[in-house]
Structure 1
Amino acid sequence: MTLVVGLGCQRGCDVHTLLALFDAALAEGGIERSRITALASIDRKHNEPGLLALAEHLSLPFQCFSAEQLAPYKGRLSHTSDVAFAHTGCYGIAESAALALAERLCNAPSRLLITRKKTAQATFALACAG
């Protein structure tokens, strides 16, 4: 099974904040860090230093999707955010990105294993496929 973490964050969110959310969400779900295949987000975050540092720290590939690529996942989200949509054109970055990358990697339908977890600066979701 392919496990993909989707992440969203405020500009300037540091790697320690992201890693704390990542580890806490996985621990709560009973999933080992080593089982994660890749990280995903929206394309406007492709140069976000905290996300890039997290991917490097975890030695995981990091892939981004446009709001248009994430839009079809709206109906599968556990939570939709009008604020996120106003800023990005996407109703839920972490969940949509996780679902999109899991499907792309497996060429199979994906589902959310861990729905959106949120801190003041970041969001996390875990999707699986295969």
Structure 2
Amino acid sequence: MTTAPILVIGLGCQRGCPASTLRALLDEALLAHGIALDQVQALASIDLKRDEPGLLELAGQLALPLTCFSAEQLAGYQGRLSHRSEIAFERTGCYGIAESAALALADQLGATSATLLIARQKGPKSTLALAVVE
């Protein structure tokens, strides 16, 4: 019997980014890749965003847990990113929040190493990536 893949959404956003903006980016990315929202198990970001109202509101709307990682934890994923942002590094100490956070949480939840199913997508004031563990 095969188990369903573990799907984790990583999110990055500027301060004050509304939940509606994050939700629009999420819906667009999932639709483009033929993934149903109910297949997503969790959301992830950087600990600098643990009190970000838009992220917390989105997690509440979707009834999904939001796990935040430190910049040090996320920096370890640098070699697995599709895109390295110097701006993100200057501001946070890691080269990509959405991809790194998605990979970090998927790795934590799965028995094998996670891969990016949806590489960094950029929306207004926000970024998103989706990692999977098969």
Structure 2 length as normaliser, TM-score? 0.95
Deviation per CA, 1:3-31, whole angstroms, max 9, x where unpaired?
00000000000010000000000001110
Supply the distance in 1 between the matched residues of 2:37 and 2:100 (Cα, whole angstroms).
20
Residue 60 of structure 2: aligned partner: 56
- CA separation in 1, counterparts of 2:93 and 2:11? 16
Q: 1:69 aligns with which of 67, 73, 76?
A: 73
* Distance in 2, Cα, partners of 1:11 & 1:107: 34
Aligned residue pairs: how many? 130
Of 18, 28, 32, the match for 1:28: 32
Partner of 1:10: 14
Gaps of 5+ in 1: none
Quick check: 2:21–2:124 contact (8 Å CA) kept in 1? no
Match of 2:85 among 72, 78, 81: 81
Give the corresponding residue for 1:95.
Answer: 99
CA shift, 1:120, in A, is 2.7
Consecutive aligned runs of 4 or more in structure 1 exceeding 3 Å deviation? none
Give the secondary structure class of the aligned counterpart of 2:77.
helix
- Structure 2: segments with no counterpart, 5+ residues: none
Q: Which residue of 1 aligns with 2:118?
A: 114
Q: Secondary structure at the match of 2:131?
A: strand
DSSP 3-state at the match of 1:31: coil
Quote the sequence identity (%).
60
Structure-2 separation of matches of 1:33 and 1:119:
18
Whole-angstrom CA distance in 2 between matches of 1:105 and 1:129: 8
Q: CA deviation at 1:107?
A: 3.5
